[in-house]
């Protein structure tokens, strides 16, 4: 994910160019980062040639949604969260595409007590056909709390999730790092991957990174504006266009780095803005020729066997992590779409 209400994320867009030219020189990444496999090097050209012959680009994408059951929990009451939650679940059912949601179990509690209504919200996701994964209990920041505390938070994050899934013949299989912060050293990253593997988890990457949390904050603030309805309509419209620009950007980044467009993994959050735009987002992606697939299918692509070289402070796209590992020039990371200034102002933020 990205940020909770208490800690805003640092986007890779702002830091990747610096890290590409400075951090790689300052840290012995070469010894820690495995080279891409032979398949990862040769497969892209094979795919690109096949696509060119067919004249039909292979565009696939995974819908992933973080901070379940609802971003603003536990800061708001369950009753306040339910209307938006129900709209999002209805939109997910109507769209009928594969989707995976990542759960923060701390949001299921109030004053340390499990709230049955919030646990039922997770059941709604399963009833809608979604897969559920672990996003830690408290949306812990690995870089802030350290590896032992982080591992504890992962295990706390499955106390309700695991039995909920087992009752349906399932188990938690995917893990996503809060803030997409995956470790400040190669040793910590390797230790975390071993820990996750021991508990039958795989890391769920993100390639289409974005700042939907900023738009969502602006959307909440717009409700108090004099022209609230008009302003919210504009936010919804321009948000969908922004997401389209992000998808176009990362498609080209993938082609520039890999030689083809890998199955993309897209991150959004369980919030009111996405509840009100989910259908339009799906239509926008379909218009670009994409089809939605499950995370298991996407992860079979050889690109995802590349090493994550990034050990900086932010949480960039995996495409940028791989590019940093290959010591791409700073120019590679340029021209990423930004949140417009008027949205930043409405969200009461100075920068992404």
Could you tell me which residues are beta bridge partners of residue 4?
A: 7
pLDDT of residue 39: 41
String of b and e for 184-214 (b: at least 16 CB within 10 Å)? Answer: bebebbeebbebbeeeebbbbbbbbbbbbbb
Least confident among 3-12, 72-81, 192-201, 327-336: 3-12
- Contacts (Cβ under 8 Å, ≥6 apart) of 306: 36, 40, 322, 325
Classified as helix, coil or strand, 315 is: coil
pLDDT: which is higher, 52 or 125: 125
Is residue 120 in some structural domain? Answer: yes
Q: What is the tens place of the pLDDT at every residue in 77-118?
A: 999 999 999 999 999 999 999 999 999 999 999 999 999 999
**pLDDT at residue 323 greater than cutoff 90:** yes
Question: What does the pLDDT average to over 249-270?
Answer: 98
CATH of the domain at 298: 3.20.20.370
| Nearest-10 crossing angle of helices 272-287, 212-222 | 130
Question: What does the pLDDT average to over 194-203?
Answer: 98
Q: How far is CA 316 from the centre of its chain?
A: 10
**pLDDT at residue 1 greater than cutoff 60:** no
Domain span holding position 124:
60-347
pLDDT: which is higher, 52 or 317: 317
Is residue 118 in some structural domain? Answer: yes
- Contacts (Cβ under 8 Å, ≥6 apart) of 123: 164
CB 264 within 8 A of CB 210: no
- Cα–Cα nearest to 245, from 291, 276, 212, 206: 212
- HSE of 67 in the Cβ direction (CA atoms, 13 Å)? 27
Q: What is the tens place of the pLDDT at every residue in 8-45?
A: 344 444 444 334 433 333 333 333 333 333 344 434 44
Is residue 271 in some structural domain? Answer: yes
Give the number of other CB atoms < 10 A from CB of residue 58. Answer: 17
Is residue 84 in some structural domain? Answer: yes
Beta strand 264-269 with 60-68: parallel, antiparallel or unpaired?
A: parallel
- The Cα–Cα gap between 55 and 137 comes to 46
CB 310 within 8 A of CB 206: no
**pLDDT at residue 334 greater than cutoff 60:** yes
Q: What is the tens place of the pLDDT at every residue in 301-319?
A: 999 999 998 999 999 999 9
Is residue 54 in some structural domain? Answer: no
CB 16 within 8 A of CB 324: yes
Is residue 52 in some structural domain? Answer: no
- Contacts (Cβ under 8 Å, ≥6 apart) of 17: 330, 333, 334
**Tokens 């932010």, residue located:** 314
Q: Which two tokens stand for residue 181?
A: 């912060």
pLDDT of residue 93: 98
Is residue 5 in some structural domain? Answer: no
- State how many domains the chain has: 1
Phi, psi of 113 (to 5 degrees): -110, 130
Question: What does the pLDDT average to over 210-234?
Answer: 97
**pLDDT at residue 162 greater than cutoff 70:** yes
Is residue 154 in some structural domain? Answer: yes
């Amino acid at each position: 994910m990205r940020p909770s209400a208490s800690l805003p994320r640092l986007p890779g867009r702002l830091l990747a160019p610096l890290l590409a030219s400075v951090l790689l020189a300052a840290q012995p990444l070469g010894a820690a980062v495995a080279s891409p496999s032979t398949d990862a090097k040769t497969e892209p050209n094979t795919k690109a040639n096949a696509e060119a012959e067919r004249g039909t680009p292979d565009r696939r994408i995974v819908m992933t949604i973080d901070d379940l059951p609802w971003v603003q929990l536990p800061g708001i009451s369950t009753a306040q969260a339910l209307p938006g939650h129900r709209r999002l679940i209805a939109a997910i059912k109507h769209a009928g595409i594969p989707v995976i949601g990542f759960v923060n179990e701390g949001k299921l509690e109030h004053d340390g007590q499990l709230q049955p209504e919030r646990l039922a919200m997770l059941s709604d996701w399963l009833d809608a056909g979604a897969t559920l994964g672990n996003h830690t209990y408290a949306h812990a920041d690995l870089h802030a709390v350290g590896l032992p505390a982080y591992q504890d938070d992962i295990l706390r994050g499955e106390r309700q999730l695991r039995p909920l899934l087992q009752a349906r013949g399932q188990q938690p299989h995917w893990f996503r790092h809060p803030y997409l912060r995956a470790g400040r050293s190669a040793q910590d990253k390797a230790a975390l991957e071993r820990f996750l593997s021991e508990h039958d988890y795989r890391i769920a990457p993100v390639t289409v990174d974005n700042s939907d949390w900023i738009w969502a904050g602006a959307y909440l603030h717009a409700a108090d504006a004099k022209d609230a309805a008009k302003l919210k309509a504009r936010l919804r419209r321009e948000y969908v266009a922004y997401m389209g620009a992000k998808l176009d950007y990362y498609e080209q980044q993938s082609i520039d780095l890999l030689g083809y467009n890998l199955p993309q993994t897209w991150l959004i959050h369980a919030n009111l803005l996405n509840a009100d735009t989910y259908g339009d987002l799906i239509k926008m992606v379909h218009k670009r020729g994409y089809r939605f697939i499950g995370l298991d299918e996407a992860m079979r692509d050889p690109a995802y066997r590349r090493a994550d070289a990034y050990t900086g402070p932010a949480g960039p796209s995996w495409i940028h992590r791989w590019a940093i590992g290959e010591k791409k020039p700073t120019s590679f990371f340029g021209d990423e779409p930004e949140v417009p200034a008027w949205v930043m102002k409405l969200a009461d933020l100075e920068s992404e």
